[in-house]
Amino acid sequence: MLAPHLGLTSSEKHRYRGRFAPSPTGPLHFGSLVAAVASYLDAKQRNGVWLVRMEDLDTPRCVPGAAERILHTLDAFGLHSDEPVIYQSLRTAAYQKAFEQLRTAGYVYPCGCTRREIADSALHGIDGPVYPGTCRNGITGGREARAWRVRTGHPPSPIEFDDALQGHISQRLESEIGDFVIRRADGLFAYQLAVVVDDAAQRISHVVRGADLLGSTPRQIYLQRLLGLATPAYLHLPVVLNAQGEKLSKQTLAQAVEANAATLFDVLLFLRQQPPAGLRHGTIEMLLAWAANNWHPEKLSNCRQFSVST
Ligand code: GLU
């Protein structure tokens, strides 16, 4: 029988729903494949649903054709989204609605500061300059609104959560991040707002992603609270570094992965899953099936980064 709320049975309501949310700024590289595979295995091991969401909101950074290439590569690895892929570029109305909700409640304000001014006046935090609050009580000097920021510190206590791999995390947004941008000077909604709106809209129960986003999670939890949304469970994977100790990314010229069993085998080794040696020469299907049955994320506990020589 269907429960009255949302037409969901209670087992569906509590069902694991995970996701992989690539930004199509280049081809799928080893680092993003690690996040794709780990999020998939974590979902499948718990009979969950696994979704792909294309984070193509930052249009100036998107590369034409990259989204299709990423989806094609995921398919070649047997990583198929259980529901249609959603595209952030088509979801502006949902972000606008959340933005209006925050604005009506008085949680956001326009900011007239330039990047330069902030860099010159601010303390440096874990994720760039900590915004000093210059426009909190109104833009001064007849300047124009550029970005929109959310007021941190409501209530003025640190944001805390327990990450499945990284342990207890506590961050005081006011002093470590400052009031942060949710609508950029170019009019685009910021990642922090879009990800929160989409994780809620897709009823994501578990977020598995790279530890490079660990410092963003308290901002996301804060927005969830202001918007009255549920907070998923978080698991932040070690970040893949190249031989120079840099995070694999488009900027560090990370190569596109080759879709074969050997690559998947290397991903499982990176994830400390010890696949049987014979499977290196098996098929992708065999490896994925072995990995879903033998997924032990705790083998990665407390690791924030590892190097691979790609
Ligand atoms: N789109 C982000 C990235 O590719 C990931 C966002 C997330 O998993 O929350 O880095």
Distance (Å, rounded) from C-alpha 190 to C-alpha 188?
A: 6
pLDDT at 5: 43
Residue 216 falls within a domain, yes or no?
yes
C-alpha 68 to ligand 1 mean position (Å) = 17
Hey, how many other C-beta atoms are within 10 angstroms of the C-beta on 255?
Answer: 12
Contact residues for 283 (Cβ-Cβ < 8 A; gap 6+): 261
* 51 close to ligand 1 (CB < 6 Angstrom): no
Q: How many independent structural domains does the chain possess?
A: 1
Residue 290 falls within a domain, yes or no?
yes
C-alpha 52 to ligand 1 mean position (Å) = 11
Is 97 marked active-site? no
Residue 221 falls within a domain, yes or no?
yes
- φ, ψ of residue 134 to 5 degrees: the values are -50, -45
Distance (Å, rounded) from C-alpha 188 to C-alpha 289?
A: 40
CATH code: domain of residue 20: 3.40.50.620
C-alpha 107 to ligand 1 mean position (Å) = 25
Residue 126 falls within a domain, yes or no?
no
Residue 47 falls within a domain, yes or no?
yes
pLDDT of 254 over the 80 cut: no
Q: Report helix, strand or coil for 51.
A: strand
* 232 close to ligand 1 (CB < 6 Angstrom): no
- Find the domain containing 255 and state its range: 12-106+199-308
How do residues 76-120 score in pLDDT, each as one tens digit? 999 999 999 999 999 999 999 999 999 999 999 999 998 888 888
Residue 136 falls within a domain, yes or no?
no
Residue 270 falls within a domain, yes or no?
yes
Q: Which atom of ligand 1 is nearest to the CA of 22?
A: 4
User: Which band of pLDDT confidence, cut at 50, 70 and 90, is reported for residue 3?
Assistant: very low
Give the mutation target among 55, 89, 199 for probing the ligand 1 site: most ligand atoms within 8 A of CB.
55
C-alpha 25 to ligand 1 mean position (Å) = 11
Q: Could you tell me the pTM of the whole model?
A: 0.93
Distance (Å, rounded) from C-alpha 56 to C-alpha 87?
A: 7
* 209 close to ligand 1 (CB < 6 Angstrom): yes
How do residues 256-273 score in pLDDT, each as one tens digit? 999 999 999 999 999 999
